Chains A and B, each alone.
Chain A
Amino acid sequence: MSAAEQRARPEAVVVHEVLEQPVGLRKRVVTGSLLVLTGAVTVLGWGLGSGRGDATFAFGGDTAVRVPDLTVPGTLTPVVLGALVVVLGLFQLVRGFRARRGPLLVGVAVAAFIVSFLCWAMSGGDAASIDVVRLLRQTLFLATPLILGALAGVLGERSGVVNVAIEGQLLTGAFTAALVGSLAGSLGAGVVGGVLSGALVGWLLAVFAIRYRVNQVILGVVLNAAALGFTGWAYKALMQSDTERFNAPGQLQAVPIPVLSEIPVLGPLLFEANVVVYVMYALIVALQVVLFRTRWGLRTRAVGEHPKAAATLGVPVLRIRYVNVVVAGGIAGLGGAFLSVGTIGPFTENMSAGKGFIALAAVIFGRWTPKGAVAASLLFGFFAALQTLVGVLPYGSAVPSSFLSALPYLATLFAVAGFVGRVRPPAASGEPYPA
């Protein structure tokens, strides 16, 4: 509006207050009690149950400037953190936080719980310590295939195609990357081969789901079985008979980025990885931008929510689905390439070992957004990393490792059951078009 108009109507007032949905009483009571319970467990279990030792959090890495180690008392820390969570829970019960503070609240409680748990696990000995950078590096390392798989899942489901075949795409990608990498004698060719083979599985998914209208969940299960059978067969028939020729690709080396890798903590954590991880960073940003800031993304989401409406406006529904599902397959194939040539090099049978299903859980846990899927994958990766690291701590063996490894699945169960807020899938996800 022009300056003249503004002068003409001086009484126009813009109110910048955002209306917020009030939190229901029931939800407030449930979350509040859960917080109080978590805090109480933290104080009683990790705090009062701890030994006499101190807990040391180290920040390793080969940077010029180093962060000093942090040593905290093993008993007092869990007690203080637990009490904090109890106070937050009581406040939620009595007054109630705003609805949008919910994720922050859960985050604080989970973080307090985990830090307290680590203090407790270290308190049994004299000078036990955890290298935080190593823990987080391991987290990122274990989460990379999950993130790539979950991004593939998000892209497919946003355009209305359920991708249960992430597992098969990871496995095929891992196999092809190792095979092509060995035959061509070039790791780059291997990675490209992995991406293309994942895209091929994506294309199969697209053809059978879109043209032949097979139920997409069944299709995913069958494609997983086919991928498992085929790679297992090829591993035994080809790779084992002549390992040198077919299954010795070597492995991608870490490429430190010159300046960034010198940043304390963050440098060794994020910028001393191999090329697949850097591509993953780019993909995360690209997907978030493409889905929510571009025309293609708007159409993709429209096709996933209401294909008929999109078609009425002239959006080529089937073409958008085809392209997205094939591209998604390629992304998952990259995750597969990370599994083989990105980590240990050669392919082994059933290498993906259920990671595709965890990625699927991350898609849902992350509420069908790239950001959320990445966060969920990191969380799952963190639990896996924790499991390997806690075992060597003084009290670590007191916690059954099966319990820690079941946690991500239990968390997802709680999430989809609606205890952590509602999750709503794209409306047309899984529906063939035209109906």
Chain B
Amino acid sequence: MSTETPAKEVPPAGPAGAAPRRPAPRRTWLVTVCAVVGAALVGAVLIAVGDARTRAAAGYFLSYPWDTFSNAWYAVRDAYVALLEGAVYSPDLSGKGALGPISETLVNATPLVLGGLAVALAFRVGLFNIGGQGQVVLGAVGAAWIGFAWDLPVGLHLLLALLGGLLGGVLWGGLIGWLKARTGAHEVITSIMLNYVALNLLNFLLSTRGFQRPPYGQAISEQVDAGARLPLLLGSPLRVHAGLLLALLAAVAVHWLFSRSRLGFRLRAVGANPEAARTAGMSVGRLQVVAMALSGGLAGLAGASQVLGVSGSVTGSVAGTIGFDAITVALLGRNNPYGVIGAGLLFGGLRAGGVQMQSTTGVPVDLVGVLQALIVLFIAAPALVRAVFRLRAGGGGVGTELAGGWSR
């Protein structure tokens, strides 16, 4: 039996009270850049390992070691160049087509920004909205249903369809908040369960008349009326749509909410210290319901913008992995609305570039998922990044404002 105290295993982090609560902006940037670079380095190793020629050269490594390195270098360079060309600019494209990569980046970034804002909003109130997936589904369903089942004038139809998406998300998110406030059920568990309930609901609807598209052979919804579609911003071949403006507007709104409004102040108070907020006379439960409803509404808008802006109809995979990617976006954006925009653009660019990378160099697009996860992992553990890149100590990692366990 060991009698040692765990004191020597304690990590050398300063006490919470003494360390500065917010890391200095410059150092935050440095950690972010280092995290991206670190992830890219790990990604480079994966690309080299996955490259068949590099593996072949490694077979005779001892006779010609240089072959392995040069092949690996070419594979990594080609993949990352293709990634950049697919996300930003490609010299092969001219005229309007030159805007193609940027347009794809923005199309991918739009739902990520909206979803990221949803997660960030909940984070700021001390809640973890892992249920973005279900809220996106409900938003998509609400928007699509109003989009094809109702018959309305052009402008109004779009507005109501967006509202339908918003309401779908508000319902699904608010339910999570209500369950937490009323019964104390932890939001992480209820939202994971509601994700699956939403998915099954979607599958049910996609096999039901009135929602499914005739002749009822495929699991796809009816087509949304042209009058309810979000207009394209740059004309036909480029897919970037007005959902982007919606996302930017939402970011401004969230920023206003937290920095200027009374409701936002209360929400932040609940996030900072629920006990203190309760003592100050705020209704913590009600504010948690409001926060989850708002968060769900933003995620619902992400679903609506996918349906009304990109696909025009709902399929079983309408939500993709938006709900989970949104968590990484919120973490990278450090729960700041404008940070979320930046993070959404970065990950949207990675997604758009990843498709290009897969088609020209054959490196699977799944690599982007690894990069994304690694970036967030490094961001979430600043002590690790500082140790690797030998930076000076700063503040804590992201997510520190969250309650840790199930019990709270």
Chain A CB within 8 A of B3 CB: yes
Question: Is A429 an interface position by the 8 A CB rule?
Answer: yes
Q: Which of B60-68, B100-108, B287-295, B366-374 faces chain A?
A: B366-374
| Contact yes or no, B203 A402, CB < 8 A | yes
Segment of A111-119, A189-197, A224-232 engaged in the interface with chain B: A224-232
**Number of chain A residues close to chain B: CB under 8 A:** 62
Min distance, Cβ A65 to any Cβ of chain B, angstroms: 41
* Chain A residues with CB below 8 A from B186, complex form: 416, 425
Contact B373 A225 (CB under 8 A): yes
Nearest CB of chain B from residue A381's CB, rounded to whole Å: 15
User: Complex Cα distance A361/B192, Å?
Assistant: 9
B369 cross-chain contacts in A, Cβ below 8 A: 225-226, 228-230, 232-233
**Any A CB within 8 A of the CB of B384:** yes
Chain A proximity mask over B364-384: 1 for CB below 8 Å, otherwise 0: 101111111110110011011
Tell me, in angstroms, the Cα distance from A215 to B382 when the chains sit together.
12
- Rounded to whole angstroms, the CA-CA distance of A52 and B311 in the bound complex is 47
Tell me whether A357 is interfacial, beta carbon within 8 Å: yes
In the assembled complex, the Cα of A364 lies from the Cα of B184 at a distance in Å of 14
Do A226 and B374 form a contact, CB below 8 Å, given A237-B363, A418-B185?
Answer: yes
Assess whether B196 is in contact with A354, with CB atoms less than 8 Å apart.
yes
Quote the shortest CB–CB distance from B38 to chain A (angstroms). Answer: 13
Q: C-beta contact mask, B340-374 vs A, less than 8 Å → 1, else 0?
A: 00000000000000000000000110111111111
Most buried by A among B204, B377, B383: B377
Segment 362-418 of A: residues with Cβ below 8 Å from B: 364, 400, 402-403, 405-406, 409-410, 412-413, 416-418
Task: Say yes or no for A317: interface residue by CB 8 A criterion.
Answer: yes
CB under 8 Å from chain B, chain A span 263-301: none
- Chain B nearest Cβ from A27, distance in angstroms: 14
Kindly state whether residue B13 has any CB partner on chain A within 8 Å. yes
Place the interface of chain B in its size category: 35 or more
Residues of B within 8 A of A431 (CB): 404-405
A82 to chain B, nearest CB (A): 26
In the bound complex, what is the Cα–Cα distance between A218 and B127 (angstroms)? Answer: 12
In the complex, which residue of chain A has the Cβ closest to the Cβ of B123? Answer: A218
Q: In the complex, are the beta carbons of B5 and A311 less than 8 A apart? A: yes
Type the 1/0 row for B194-214, where 1 means its CB is closer than 8 Å to any CB of A.
101100110110010000000
A230 contacts B370, C-beta separation under 8 Å: yes
Are A360 and B196 in touch, CB under 8 angstroms?
no
Q: A211-B11, A216-B404, A430-B404 known; A416 and B52 CB under 8 Å?
A: no
- The answer to whether A147 has its CB under 8 Å from any CB of chain B is no
* Residue contact B372 to A416, C-beta cutoff 8 Å: no
Bound Cα distance A429, B408 (Å): 10
Partner of B373, one of A215, A226, A413: A226
Task: State the 6 A-B residue pairs at the shortest beta-carbon distance, nearest first.
Answer: A229-B369, A430-B405, A237-B50, A232-B366, A226-B373, A236-B364
Residues of B with Cβ closer than 8 Å to A? Answer: 1-6, 9-11, 13, 46, 49-50, 52, 128, 130, 179, 182-186, 188-190, 192-194, 196-197, 200-201, 203-204, 207, 324-325, 327-328, 331, 363-364, 366-374, 376-377, 380-381, 383-384, 397-400, 402, 404-407
Q: Which residues of A are at the interface with B, using a C-beta cutoff of 8 A?
A: 162, 164, 208, 211-219, 221-226, 228-230, 232-238, 241, 311, 314, 316-319, 354, 357, 360-361, 364, 400, 402-403, 405-406, 409-410, 412-413, 416-418, 424-425, 427-434
